[in-house]
């Protein structure tokens, strides 16, 4: 089967080894996936599933044994022994903003200055990135694109990882403003002579500066007709009305609490990004109903004496406490390993379906797009994957098909093409998929 | 010095500052001085005033040496020297006699790690702004490296400074050995008295020791930027000095090498930053037949046995960390367990060292407040240091270490008249140093207090006919007077006692009562004064015979002692999850497991494996043997340990010596850090062996350290014995400094073209060096060339950081030209483009599974690389280069299945057998085969699965990781932290000093890490992490 796909791809684009993947056409015919195990994304699964979608929307989710459906109306995909997942959503990523980390000309991820709420990642999103297809072929179909640097790096947008241009690829524009909370501990010394990590004695001052900025932004927003337009404060308006979320990047427990209380007091809806130590304050997070974009699971513990597997089991601790969180990892190309952040958590006790939820419905909730996507549910976008094996385990994972809004996505990428080029040269056969 | 300065005269001001009011002056003389040592060569201005300077101190308890104390004895000094000491020694007729009334005389203290009178360290010139400085800024026929200044002579730079000396004298010091605390070789120190006079008379010995350190100090030159670079530089300098004395002087004049050779006979004092650096410097010392004296750091107890074995003496700063302020639970959480434990155990360090028989001297170095010094000695004594050892560490030992025992250190005939006079045994709480005599010059620090006329107790105070109950309490040498009205009300009584007159005043119902009187008998006072109504009244104090019974306090005191006795364990390494006892190999039988042999047998189901004597002993079905430990392997998988071909964990102070394009002389093996918690974390991921590699900042990097993760063992014990030597090379962007910013455009090479030239040039030079060496002619031993020669002679193998095909191809051609095989290309992300050429050349590849896009040269990296290389019969490994990823290399191996469809068995070899082959260690490890090392991992399931957990990791049959034990240790860590936090809170509530919580910085190196780690230690600047992948 896979071999046949290869031949087809070769037939279509025989010469372009590093050719870009062509954005998929809109769904042209209804598709029915039968007999697979559907991981719905809402924490449940359905064996022997029948999943149908047309015009980009899911039209049927049911049990093959109980649902009656006229197969002749569909293009039928047999998924016996296979798994169906909603497309995964990469959170807090720089996909399309950074092509080659070390090459300045290819970086569009940060701006000069500290408070930049009006800066938008949306328009810098490069739909022609060669990195994106390597992420997509590992199941990531949508992403939150987040600018970096400074106290307030700017606004994030949700993008589909397939499109002709950024307008085409956008799923939800300017959906949140990012705030990097001051760090309570800083390394002393300078680069030539690193010292110990000590309390940041400017912490209070830095927090005051934030509070002042937000106060002024609020006052600006409340005045009906400001004399002089302030772009920064204009951008902040949505925060107080609830149309934009406030993503607060912070990792230690105390700043998390401080930041959450600050946001709530000012009528904003906070999301914590990072939250390495969130496991210490799960009660607080649950009580405050705060959601978290969790720093990568496959990480080292913060402190020397921490349990050696602390980052591995943090998702389970949050899950047990009922805190909603999404898996994430920093960067652009790194997003190819997003699924394994969830796999690692399953390995350390997290329920499998809940792990899938942390890659699908929970991120959708955090982004405020769960009404349209994030789970396999009637009426939602047909953004989904068909996988041979367990998508969370590199030992068995093979992603066979991917659909974004019903459009079947090209899972080829530059790396596969290079592999084909040289295996052909050597006359050897390896599995390039 | 002709007239005493006012400060010394000013007894009254001293007394005023003192809380205790009961003082009289015993000495009619306020200041004792003599000008008999005035510089003979100086012209006299005024009337000549020569004095004999003969003084006799009679009736004293004299501590002649730390071992020998004599009572009722006499000390006679003359002309600044001790004339005589003993009981009943004759007192010359012209001596000034002082009656000591049983007071105590000790030799003045000595600090041999001081910078008293030295100029402040300063850079020679300025470094080029933001750009590298390749050579020394120092003009003249000196060494090429600015951090080496053996030619510096402290006695030439010494300027006495009475103001500074005062601070030392006050706490009992009489002489110090001073040096300039700057650089790797710091030249010589000078022994001086802390008197007030001119340099000419204060210098006792002009060259006492040669001082060295692992710190560049104020040198602005880039080399060395790492600890291993400093080690190489020191070693090379020893060799250069040998060459210079034999033959080199004919070739060049070098003031520094001349000086270096002239210092040979002196003691060598080495400043280190931690316990492991003692072991490292000691290794250098062994190579060149030198036993260093170490300026330690207070953490020696953490590796006591090894330090004892070094046979070195330690100069110990008497500095103990303050308790952390742990009152905020979240902040407290950031304090590392080792820092907390060290707070508790640091005061036991001097005692532990002394008991181990390590010669010990104390220094004030590093102590912010000199006044804490004596308190810290007392603390050390409370924590196991004997008073004798304490005194020796301040007198005889430092004197002996700098070969000055015939001048100072004891109160024996003929020695410097350097001594202190105390009211009590000097280490007893509350003891005061009243006088400090230095070279016969007497400094009165404080007057002798008068014996209080009233002891602690309950007295009857009578004023006219009114009677009061008066409590007199003594605490810390201070008396407090309280009138007890009833159980709840006390009236504080102000008192002063001077010239045998006691004055009291207190308020009764807001009216002041004032009384003055004199002692008629001990504990009885009579006098006159005004009562509350202003009437002139007679009054008296008489003992009631009742005593204050501070039962509660006594109990508290006892309890306090009890809790202090309860100390945490010293664990190895001194980190969380450290061992209390050194673990040993067991005989282990694992039964009914799935065994991945990596041999022809493949994967065996339901098989048994026996480990004994640190080796794999048998593998088979239903082994019928006895074992210490039998493990039910049902459902479990057993593999050999994972081998990480490319790791940067467990390295101290710098992974790159990238300041020159070749640093073949440096070695990571010199800086293996056994005290890195990532060793334990790696074991928990089944990693048992790693090549610790130099970074990739230069084409010819440094030598590797190949270690097994023997957690808790010393760096030397971690090294794999008999491992083939390796060196790191590097190509591409890092070595041409592409991503270091525009300032880095000076160092050769700046292009891939230049990289080839570096190699060719070096190998040609190495060959010529080899020819010269074999010729029998004199030659300068060059550590860099020695290493390169080993490569050409195929005695040392190369692991080369590489990315793009052109450079990989180039280096293979270079190797072929010079007659050797390039052993391993590491990273090798474009290896798949020239796999055929690599195979033909015989090079292996150690790559990443799926990294790419982090720099331009990895733009064509593909995750199928490993599978293609493997298929092309190139020995292929997957490595980490990352402290986090290294503990899940099993998952990286699985990516060989995911990308490229390798079989599970072959994929598993990517992290085991193949790296073993690349490291030439496959005869010892890399598969499960009888006779190989028992480096074995028990997995909960198929090790390639993300769901697999390591249950046990054995190295040489020793169970270094065990999941069950790990859980127990977590519990112990929690308990230990809680105990220490409670103790610290207790310390705070007692009013002890505390410090704000700080986190321990955990350095995680990657190969591009180029920070300079050899600068001075400093604090104060805030730091943003500067680090790229």
Nearest chain A alpha carbon to B944: A395
Mean pLDDT of B863-890: 97
Nearest chain A alpha carbon to B738: A102
With tokens 């050892």, the residue in question is B389
CB contact under 8 A, B862 and A199: no
A227: closest CA of chain B, how far (Å): 39
Is the pLDDT at A118 greater than 90? The verdict is yes
State the pLDDT at residue B917.
98
B863 CB within 8 Å of a chain A CB: yes
Distance of CA B826 to the CA centre of its chain: 34
Choose among B851, B947, B966: nearest Cβ to A347.
Answer: B947
Beta pairing class for B185-188 and B173-178? unpaired
Nearest chain A alpha carbon to B1026: A191
- Asked if B977 and B337 count as a contact pair (C-beta separation under 8 A), the reply is yes
- Asked if B1008 and A174 count as a contact pair (C-beta separation under 8 A), the reply is no
The CATH superfamily of B642-739+795-925 is Metal-dependent hydrolases (3.20.20.140)
How many Å apart are CA B831 and CA B847, to the nearest integer? 9
Q: In which region does residue A370 sit, left (phi positive, over 0), alpha (psi from -120 to 50) or beta (all else)? A: alpha
Q: In which region does residue B420 sit, left (phi positive, over 0), alpha (psi from -120 to 50) or beta (all else)? A: beta
CB contact under 8 A, A101 and B733: no
Q: pLDDT band at B970, cuts 50/70/90?
A: very high
How many Å apart are CA A196 and CA A198, to the nearest integer? 6
A187: closest CA of chain B, how far (Å): 5
- Per-domain residue ranges for chain B? 457-552, 586-640+935-956, 642-739+795-925
Residues in chain A within 8 Å Cβ distance of B681: 300-301, 308
Please classify residue B634 by burial: count the beta carbons closer than 10 Å to its beta carbon, then call 0-12 exposed, 13-18 middle and 19+ buried: exposed
Please classify residue A38 by burial: count the beta carbons closer than 10 Å to its beta carbon, then call 0-12 exposed, 13-18 middle and 19+ buried: buried
Range of weakest confidence among A81-95, B350-364, B452-466: B452-466
Give the residue with greater pLDDT, A260 vs A241.
A260
- Asked if B226 and B233 count as a contact pair (C-beta separation under 8 A), the reply is no
Instruction: For residue range A417-433, list pLDDT tens digits in order.
Output: 999 999 999 999 998 77
What is residue A84's DSSP assignment? Answer: E
Tokens encoding A400 = 């066979």
B333 CB within 8 Å of a chain A CB: yes
A 237-276: CB under 8 A from B: 252-254
H helices present in B719-751, as ranges: none
- Give the domains, in start order, of chain A with CATH numbers: 22-86 (2.30.40.10), 88-373 (3.20.20.140)
State the pLDDT at residue B471.
87
> For residue B1025, how many other CB atoms are within 10 A of its CB?
9
A 80-109: CB under 8 A from B: 99-103
Q: State which fold the B457-552 domain adopts.
A: Lipocalin (2.40.128)
Mean pLDDT of A161-178: 97
Provide CB contacts within 8 A for B912, sequence distance 6+.
B598, B639, B640, B641, B642, B643, B926, B927
Considering the domain B586-640+935-956 in this protein, what is its CATH number? 2.30.40.10
Phi first, then psi, for residue A115 (nearest 5°) are: -105, 105
State the pLDDT at residue A224.
79
CB contact under 8 A, B1018 and A254: no
Tokens encoding B214 = 């692992």
Give the residue with greater pLDDT, A121 vs B8.
A121
Rounded alpha-carbon distances, angstroms, from residue A253 to A198, A256, A286, A323, B1002: 16, 5, 14, 15, 20
Q: How many CB pairs under 8 A join A and B?
A: 220
How many Å apart are CA B354 and CA B314, to the nearest integer? 10
How many Å apart are CA B36 and CA B975, to the nearest integer? 65
State the pLDDT at residue A194.
53
With tokens 């360290």, the residue in question is B121
What 3-state DSSP class applies to B886? helix
Mean pLDDT of B699-720: 98
State the pLDDT at residue B476.
65
Is the pLDDT at B855 greater than 90? The verdict is yes
Is the pLDDT at B623 greater than 80? The verdict is yes
CB contact under 8 A, B945 and A395: yes
Instruction: For residue range B675-689, list pLDDT tens digits in order.
Output: 999 999 999 999 999
CB contact under 8 A, A189 and B1021: yes
A284: closest CA of chain B, how far (Å): 14
Taking all residues of chain A, what is their mean pLDDT, rounded to a whole number? 93
B853 CB within 8 Å of a chain A CB: yes
B 898-917: CB under 8 A from A: 898, 900-902, 904
Mean pLDDT of A290-307: 96
Mean pLDDT of B353-358: 98
Instruction: For residue range B67-80, list pLDDT tens digits in order.
Output: 999 999 999 999 99
Is the omega angle on the peptide bond into residue B225 within 30 degrees of 0, that is, cis?
no
Phi first, then psi, for residue A340 (nearest 5°) are: -75, -15
Q: pLDDT band at B562, cuts 50/70/90?
A: low
Buried b (16+ CB within 10 A) or exposed e, B302-333: bbbebbeebebbbbbbbbbeebbbbeeebbbb
Sign of CA dihedral A107, A108, A109, A113: positive
Beta pairing class for B54-63 and B104-107? parallel
Strand ordering across the sheet containing B1022-1023:
B998-999, A193-199, A185-190, B1022-1023
Instruction: For residue range B716-767, list pLDDT tens digits in order.
Output: 999 999 999 999 999 999 999 888 888 888 888 999 999 999 999 999 999 9
State the pLDDT at residue B885.
95
Of residues B311, B304, B410, the one with CA closest to residue B351? B304
State the pLDDT at residue B500.
77
The alpha carbons of chain A give a radius of gyration, in whole angstroms, of: 23
- B54 forms beta bridges with B78
A114 CB within 8 Å of a chain B CB: no
Q: pLDDT band at B486, cuts 50/70/90?
A: confident
Residues in chain B within 8 Å Cβ distance of A336: 850
Provide CB contacts within 8 A for B186, sequence distance 6+.
B149, B152, B179, B180, B210, B211, B212, B213, B217
Q: How many helices (H) and strands (E) does chain A have?
A: 12, 18
Instruction: For residue range A341-351, list pLDDT tens digits in order.
Output: 999 999 999 99
Taking all residues of chain B, what is their mean pLDDT, rounded to a whole number? 90
Instruction: For residue range B506-558, list pLDDT tens digits in order.
Output: 888 888 888 898 887 778 888 888 888 888 888 989 888 777 766 566 666 66
State the pLDDT at residue B1027.
33
CB contact under 8 A, B872 and A426: yes
Instruction: For residue range B992-1009, list pLDDT tens digits in order.
Output: 888 888 887 777 777 777
Instruction: For residue range B22-44, list pLDDT tens digits in order.
Output: 333 344 334 454 444 456 787 87
Is the pLDDT at A185 greater than 90? The verdict is no
Instruction: For residue range B217-269, list pLDDT tens digits in order.
Output: 999 999 999 999 999 999 999 999 999 999 899 999 999 999 999 999 999 99
Range of weakest confidence among A391-400, B27-36, B134-143, B1014-1023: B27-36
B653 CB within 8 Å of a chain A CB: no
Is the pLDDT at B846 greater than 90? The verdict is yes
Q: pLDDT band at B482, cuts 50/70/90?
A: confident
How many Å apart are CA B1002 and CA B575, to the nearest integer? 12
Instruction: For residue range B404-450, list pLDDT tens digits in order.
Output: 999 999 999 999 999 999 999 999 988 999 999 999 999 998 877 66
Instruction: For residue range B642-656, list pLDDT tens digits in order.
Output: 999 999 999 999 999
State the pLDDT at residue A223.
86
How many Å apart are CA B488 and CA B493, to the nearest integer? 16
Is the pLDDT at B308 greater than 50? The verdict is yes
State the pLDDT at residue A195.
63
Residues in chain A within 8 Å Cβ distance of B1026: 191
> For residue B901, how many other CB atoms are within 10 A of its CB?
17
Of residues B183, B163, B132, B201, the one with CA closest to residue B748? B132
Q: pLDDT band at B200, cuts 50/70/90?
A: very high
- B178 forms beta bridges with B114, B190
B756 CB within 8 Å of a chain A CB: no
Residues in chain B within 8 Å Cβ distance of A254: 330-331
């Amino acid at each position: 089967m896979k071999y046949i796909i290869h031949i087809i791809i070769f037939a279509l684009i025989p010469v372009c080894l590093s050719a870009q993947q062509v954005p998929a056409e809109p769904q042209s015919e209804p598709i029915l996936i039968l007999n697979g195990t559907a991981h719905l994304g809402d924490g449940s699964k359905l064996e022997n599933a029948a999943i149908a979608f047309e015009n980009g929307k899911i039209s049927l989710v049911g049990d093959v044994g109980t649902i009656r459906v006229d197969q002749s109306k569909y293009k039928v995909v047999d998924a016996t022994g296979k798994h169906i997942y909603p497309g995964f959503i990469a959170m807090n990523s720089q996909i399309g903003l950074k092509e080659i980390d070390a090459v300045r000309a290819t970086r569009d991820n940060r701006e000069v200055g500290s408070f930049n709420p009006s800066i938008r990642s949306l328009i810098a999103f490069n739909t022609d990135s060669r990195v994106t297809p390597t992420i997509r072929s590992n199941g990531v179909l949508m992403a939150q694109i987040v600018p970096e640097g400074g106290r307030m790096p700017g606004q994030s947008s949700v993008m589909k990882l397939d499109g002709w241009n950024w307008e085409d690829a956008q799923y939800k524009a300017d959906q949140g403003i990012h705030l990097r909370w001051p760090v309570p501990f800083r390394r002393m010394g300078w680069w030539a002579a690193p010292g110990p990590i000590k309390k940041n004695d400017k912490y209070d001052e830095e927090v005051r500066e934030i509070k002042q900025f937000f106060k002024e932004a609020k006052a600006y927003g409340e005045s009906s007709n400001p004399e002089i337009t302030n772009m920064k404060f204009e951008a902040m308006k949505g925060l107080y009305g609830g149309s934009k979320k406030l993503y607060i990047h912070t990792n230690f427990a105390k700043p998390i609490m401080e930041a959450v209380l600050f946001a709530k007091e000012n009528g904003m809806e906070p999301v914590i990004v990072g939250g390495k130590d969130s496991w210490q304050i799960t009660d607080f997070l649950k009580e405050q109903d705060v959601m978290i974009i969790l720093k990568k699971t496959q990480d080292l513990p913060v402190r020397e004496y921490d349990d050696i597997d602390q980052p591995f089991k943090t998702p389970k601790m949050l899950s047990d406490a009922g805190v909603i969180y999404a898996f994430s990892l920093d960067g652009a190309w790194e997003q190819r390993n997003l699924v394994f952040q969830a796999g690692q958590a399953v390995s350390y006790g997290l329920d499998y379906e809940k792990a899938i939820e942390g890659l699908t419905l929970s991120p959708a909730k955090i982004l405020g797009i769960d009404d349209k996507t994030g789970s396999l549910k009637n009426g939602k976008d047909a953004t989904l994957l068909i996988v041979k094996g367990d998508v969370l385990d590199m030992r068995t994972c093979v992603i066979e098909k991917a659909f974004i809004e019903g459009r079947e996505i090209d899972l080829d990428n530059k790396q596969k093409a290079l592999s084909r080029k040289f295996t052909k040269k050597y006359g050897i056969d390896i599995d390039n998929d | 010095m002709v007239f005493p300065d006012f400060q010394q005269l000013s007894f009254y001001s001293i007394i005023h500052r003192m809380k205790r009011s009961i003082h009289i002056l015993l000495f009619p003389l306020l200041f004792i001085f003599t000008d008999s040592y005035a510089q003979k060569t100086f012209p006299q201005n005024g009337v000549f005033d020569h004095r004999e300077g003969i003084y006799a101190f009679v009736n004293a308890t004299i501590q002649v040496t730390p071992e020998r104390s004599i009572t009722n004895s006499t000390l006679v000094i003359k002309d600044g020297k001790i004339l005589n000491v003993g009981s009943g020694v004759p007192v010359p007729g012209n001596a000034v006699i002082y009656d000591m009334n049983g007071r105590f005389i000790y030799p003045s203290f000595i600090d041999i790690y001081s910078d008293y009178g030295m100029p402040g360290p300063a850079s020679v010139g300025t470094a080029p702004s933001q750009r590298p400085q390749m050579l020394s800024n120092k003009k003249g026929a000196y060494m090429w490296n600015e951090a080496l200044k053996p030619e510096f002579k402290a006695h030439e730079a010494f300027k006495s400074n009475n103001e500074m000396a005062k601070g030392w004298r006050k706490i009992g010091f009489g002489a110090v050995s001073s040096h300039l605390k700057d650089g790797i070789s710091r030249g010589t120190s000078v022994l001086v008295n802390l008197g007030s006079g001119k340099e000419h008379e204060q210098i006792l010995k002009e060259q006492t020791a040669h001082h060295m350190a692992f710190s560049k100090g104020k040198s602005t030159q880039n080399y060395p930027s790492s600890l291993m670079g400093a080690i190489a530089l020191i070693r090379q300098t020893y060799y250069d000095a040998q060459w210079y004395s034999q033959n080199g002087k004919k070739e060049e004049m070098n003031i520094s090498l001349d000086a270096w050779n002239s210092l040979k006979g002196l003691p060598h004092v080495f400043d280190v930053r931690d316990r492991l650096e003692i072991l490292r410097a000691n290794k250098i010392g062994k190579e060149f037949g030198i036993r260093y004296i170490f300026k330690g750091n207070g953490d020696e107890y953490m590796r006591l046995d090894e330090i004892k074995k070094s046979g070195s003496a330690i100069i110990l700063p008497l500095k103990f960390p303050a308790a952390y302020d742990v009152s905020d639970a979240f902040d407290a959480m950031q304090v590392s367990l080792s820092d907390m434990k060290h707070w508790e155990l640091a005061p036991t360090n001097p005692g532990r060292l002394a008991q181990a028989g390590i010669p010990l001297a104390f220094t004030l170095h590093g102590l912010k407040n000199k006044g804490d010094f004596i308190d810290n000695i007392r603390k050390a004594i409370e924590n196991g240091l004997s008073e004798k050892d304490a005194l020796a560490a301040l007198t005889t030992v430092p004197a002996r270490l700098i070969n000055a025992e015939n001048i100072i250190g004891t109160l024996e005939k003929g020695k410097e008249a350097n001594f202190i006079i105390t009211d009590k045994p000097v280490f007893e709480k509350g003891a005061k140093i009243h006088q400090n005599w230095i070279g016969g010059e007497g400094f009165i620090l404080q007057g002798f207090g008068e014996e209080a006329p009233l002891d602690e107790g309950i007295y009857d105070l009578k004023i006219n006919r009114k009677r009061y109950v008066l409590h007199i309490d003594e605490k810390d040498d201070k008396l407090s007077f309280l009138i007890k009205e009833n159980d709840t009300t006390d009236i504080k009584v102000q008192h002063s006692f001077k010239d045998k007159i006691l004055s009291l005043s207190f308020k009764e119902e807001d009216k002041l009562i004032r009384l003055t009187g004199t002692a008629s008998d001990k504990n009885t006072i009579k006098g006159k004064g005004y009562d509350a109504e202003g009437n002139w009244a007679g009054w008296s104090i008489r003992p009631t015979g009742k005593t204050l019974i501070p039962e509660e306090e006594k109990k508290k005191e006892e309890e306090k002692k009890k809790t202090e006795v309860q100390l945490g364990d010293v664990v190895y390494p001194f980190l969380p999850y450290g061992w209390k006892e050194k673990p040993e190999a067991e005989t282990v039988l694992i039964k009914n497991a799935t065994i991945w042999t990596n041999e022809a047998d493949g994967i065996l189901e339901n098989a048994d494996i026996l480990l004994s004597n640190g080796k794999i002993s048998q593998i088979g079905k239903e082994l019928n043997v006895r074992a210490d430990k039998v493990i039910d392997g049902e459902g479990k998988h057993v593999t050999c340990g994972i081998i990480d071909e490319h790791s940067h964990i467990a390295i101290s102070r710098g992974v790159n010596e990238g300041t020159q394009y070749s640093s073949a002389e440096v070695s990571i093996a010199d800086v293996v850090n056994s005290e890195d918690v990532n060793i334990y974390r790696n074991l928990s991921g089944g990693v048992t062996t790693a090549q610790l590699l130099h970074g990739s900042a230069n084409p010819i990097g440094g030598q590797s350290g190949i270690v097994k993760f023997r957690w808790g063992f010393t760096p030397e014990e971690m090294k794999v014995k008999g491992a083939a030597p390796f060196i790191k090379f590097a190509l591409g962007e890092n070595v041409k400094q592409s991503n270091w910013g525009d300032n880095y455009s000076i160092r050769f090479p700046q292009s891939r073209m230049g990289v080839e030239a570096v190699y060719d040039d070096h190998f040609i030079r190495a060959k010529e060096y080899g020819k010269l060496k074999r010729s029998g002619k004199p030659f300068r031993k060059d550590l860099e060339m020695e290493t390169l020669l080993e490569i050409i002679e195929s005695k040392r193998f190369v692991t080369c950081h590489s990315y793009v095909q052109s450079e990989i191809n180039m280096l293979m051609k270079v190797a072929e030209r010079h007659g050797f095989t390039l052993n391993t290309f590491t990273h090798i992300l474009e290896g798949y483009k020239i796999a055929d050429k690599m195979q033909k050349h015989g090079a292996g590849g150690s790559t990443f599974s799926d990294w790419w896009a982090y720099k331009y040269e990895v733009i064509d990296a593909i995750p199928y690389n490993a599978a293609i290389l493997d298929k092309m019969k190139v020995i292929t490994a997957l490595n980490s280069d990352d402290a986090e990823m290294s503990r899940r290399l099993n998952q990286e191996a699985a990516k060989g299945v995911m990308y490229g469809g390798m079989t599970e068995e072959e994929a598993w070899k990517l992290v085991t057998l193949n790296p073993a082959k690349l490291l030439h260690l496959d005869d010892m490890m890399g598969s499960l085969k009888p006779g190989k090392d028992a480096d074995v991992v028990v997995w909960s399931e198929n090790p390639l699965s993300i769901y697999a957990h390591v249950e046990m990791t054995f190295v040489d049959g020793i169970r270094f990781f065990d999941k069950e034990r790990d859980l127990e240790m977590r519990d112990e860590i929690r308990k230990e932290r809680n105990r220490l936090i409670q103790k610290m809170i207790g310390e705070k509530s007692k009013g002890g000093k505390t410090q704000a919580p700080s986190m321990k910085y955990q350095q995680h190196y990657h190969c591009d890490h180029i920070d300079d780690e050899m600068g001075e230690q400093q604090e104060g600047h805030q730091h943003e992490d500067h680090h790229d992948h």
